[in-house]
Amino acid sequence: MTAPVKPIDVAVGILMKPNGDVLLGQRPPGKPYAGYWEFPGGKVDPGETVLEALKREFMEELGIEVLSADEWCGVEHVYEHAHVRLHFFISRDWRGEPQSLEGQAFAWQGEVGVEPLLPATIPLLQWISRDACSTVDA
């Protein structure tokens, strides 16, 4: 019998400009799903809160200081490489301009037109446009 696998916590940030544009990044070579687009973020390290991980990842990947962020939707997804629990945050409050510190491409998008997107991130696009963590009508 195989033991149930504990999901890996991942902090993910949606930087949102006043006009609604959001920042996406492209996964660099060498990572699972290289070339797929995602919202910036990464795994939570031991001893770190999810918000601390978010701030660390934004600084490491993009040189952006996230000043505040609100925890928003959560999604669990089982990939062939990992079982992840994604904690999405929305931030409208940051300092700095994004820089490609890990060689990745990034893009501000109004209507998200980049593809492919990571499978677990696809529903988020509708959730952002509806401002609700579900596509099911109430």
Ligand X SMILES: Nc1nc2c([nH]c(=O)n2[C@H]2C[C@H](O)[C@@H](COP(=O)(O)OP(=O)(O)OP(=O)(O)O)O2)c(=O)[nH]1
Task: Give the binding site for ligand X (CB under 6 A).
Answer: 10, 12, 31-32, 38-43, 77, 79, 82, 84, 86, 118, 120-121
Q: Which is nearer to ligand X, 50 or 84 (CB)?
A: 84
Distance CA(64)–CA(92), nearest Å, equals 12
Q: How far is the CB of 52 from ligand X (least distance, A)?
A: 13
Which residues lie closer than 8 Å to 72 by C-beta, 6 or more apart? 14, 88, 89, 90, 133
Q: Using an 8 Å Cβ cutoff, are 108 and 50 in contact?
A: no
Q: How far is the CB of 104 from ligand X (least distance, A)?
A: 10
Q: Which is nearer to ligand X, 39 or 72 (CB)?
A: 39
CA-based radius of gyration for the chain: 15
Q: Which is nearer to ligand X, 40 or 98 (CB)?
A: 40
The residue whose Cβ lies closest to ligand X is: 42
Q: How far is the CB of 3 from ligand X (least distance, A)?
A: 20
